[in-house]
């Protein structure tokens, strides 16, 4: 039977769509309320930028919730549809176990993501993280080395850094000179600096050679260059400063300068319990043997390009993106320079393949001739 020809559709004919009558579900007044979370917090957890950047992004009108322009401070549930420039977003409503990195920072690197001078930054070496961004717990100046902690949890970072928690910071200090007993007692009692009084909770001499002497100091603040300024008050310049402990986290001896170590899941749970933060109820993910070895191994970070905040990206034209099907770079970087077709240059003194270059055919084996026959 011959196949009938396909009838052409009349473009002027209106399209008939099926009509459906949906009965709205009755709302149970006794049902528990769906928990809401701050929109700017979820956008920051999704790795689109900091919370302050997300507040500016919402204020610009580029974010919509259920088709309506979102407002700063709005709360959303897991049933709401959130879009950025008409692009749907997947927000992390369920709490996940954060990641924590330990980095032995060398001298010559700054702890900042924005530097107009273009100096080397510790953020250039951090590995990629899914649905989040790295937050540095505390800062170290350019000439200070030692323990630096990174995490994807803003609450955990705040528990370490906020002054009201008074988390201990331990340093190994080498100065040019030697403190007297009276100077040590005065450093423990307190010295008036430009930004207020400061003191060490503990200061223990560790010996030294020649004019240089080492001291182990502990303080509960993180003001700018506080350790250096306390010693410079007695005209004793600091020649080397190294942080060896921050709260319950110590710098492991096997993490050498410029190396990184990712804490295991049980260690991260211990940090959350120490900080009195809620631990995710989901069970810990079972790691393979290879993942276990990789998670406990010290590695050297590689310089990579950092993720750009969503606030710095130009808004995408939704109509043009849907029409062209383009999902790549914005229009400003696309189509500005026309690529020239590649032309192949003729090779000089090119030798033509000849029949004499071919190898002589070999005799076919008997087993090959009979192969495949029944």
**Phi, psi angles (nearest 5°) of residue 214:** -100, 145
DSSP 284-296: PPPPPHHHHHHHT
CA pair distance 317, 338, nearest whole angstrom: 22
CA pair distance 193, 190, nearest whole angstrom: 9
Q: Around Cβ 346, how many Cβ atoms within 10 Å?
A: 5
User: Is residue 69 within 8 Å of 111, Cβ to Cβ?
Assistant: no
User: Is residue 49 within 8 Å of 55, Cβ to Cβ?
Assistant: no
Is there a catalytic annotation at residue 141? Answer: yes
DSSP 47-90: TS--HHHHHHHHHTT-EEETTEE--TT-EE-TTS-EEETTEE--
Residue 324 burial class via C-beta count within 10 angstroms: exposed 0-12, middle 13-18, buried 19 and up: exposed
Would you give the DSSP letter of residue 357? Answer: G
The residues with which 84 forms a beta bridge, in sequence order, are 63, 87
Q: Which of 141, 195, 312, 317 is catalytic?
A: 141
So which residues are the catalytic ones? Answer: 141
């Amino acid at each position: 039977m011959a196949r009938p020809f396909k009838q052409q559709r009349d473009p002027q004919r209106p399209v008939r769509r099926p009509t459906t009558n949906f009965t709205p579900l009755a709302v149970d007044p006794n049902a528990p309320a769906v928990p809401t979370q701050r929109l700017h917090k979820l956008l920051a957890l999704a790795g689109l930028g900091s919370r302050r950047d997300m507040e500016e992004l919402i204020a610009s009108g580029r974010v919509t919730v259920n088709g309506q322009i979102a407002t700063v401070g709005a709360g959303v549930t897991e049933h709401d549809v959130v879009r950025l420039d008409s692009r749907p977003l997947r927000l992390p409503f369920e709490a996940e176990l954060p990641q924590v990195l330990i980095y032995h920072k060398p001298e010559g690197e700054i702890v900042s993501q924005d530097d107009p001078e273009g100096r080397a930054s510790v953020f250039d070496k951090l590995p990629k993280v899914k649905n989040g961004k790295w937050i540095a717990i505390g800062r170290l100046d350019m000439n200070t080395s030692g323990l630096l902690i990174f995490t994807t949890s803003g609450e955990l970072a705040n528990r370490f850094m906020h002054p009201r928690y008074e988390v201990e910071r331990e340093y190994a200090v080498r100065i040019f000179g030697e403190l007297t007993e009276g100077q040590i007692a005065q450093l423990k009692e307190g010295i008036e600096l430009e930004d207020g009084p400061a003191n060490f909770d503990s200061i223990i001499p560790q010996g030294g050679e020649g004019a240089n002497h080492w001291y182990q100091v502990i303080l509960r603040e993180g003001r700018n260059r506080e350790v250096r300024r306390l010693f410079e008050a007695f005209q004793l310049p600091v020649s080397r400063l190294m942080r060896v402990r921050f709260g319950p986290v110590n710098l492991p001896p096997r993490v050498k300068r410029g190396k990184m170590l990712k804490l295991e899941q049980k260690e991260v749970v211990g940090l959350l319990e120490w900080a009195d933060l809620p631990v995710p109820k989901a069970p810990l993910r079972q790691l393979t043997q290879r993942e276990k070895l990789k998670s406990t191994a010290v590695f050297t970070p590689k310089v990579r390009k950092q993720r750009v905040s969503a606030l710095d990206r130009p808004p995408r034209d939704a109509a043009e993106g849907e029409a062209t099907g383009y999902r790549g770079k914005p229009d400003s970087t696309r189509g500005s320079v026309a690529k020239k077709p590649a032309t192949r240059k003729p090779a000089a003194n090119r030798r033509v393949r000849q029949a004499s270059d071919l190898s002589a055919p070999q005799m076919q084996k008997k087993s090959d001739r009979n192969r495949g026959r029944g």
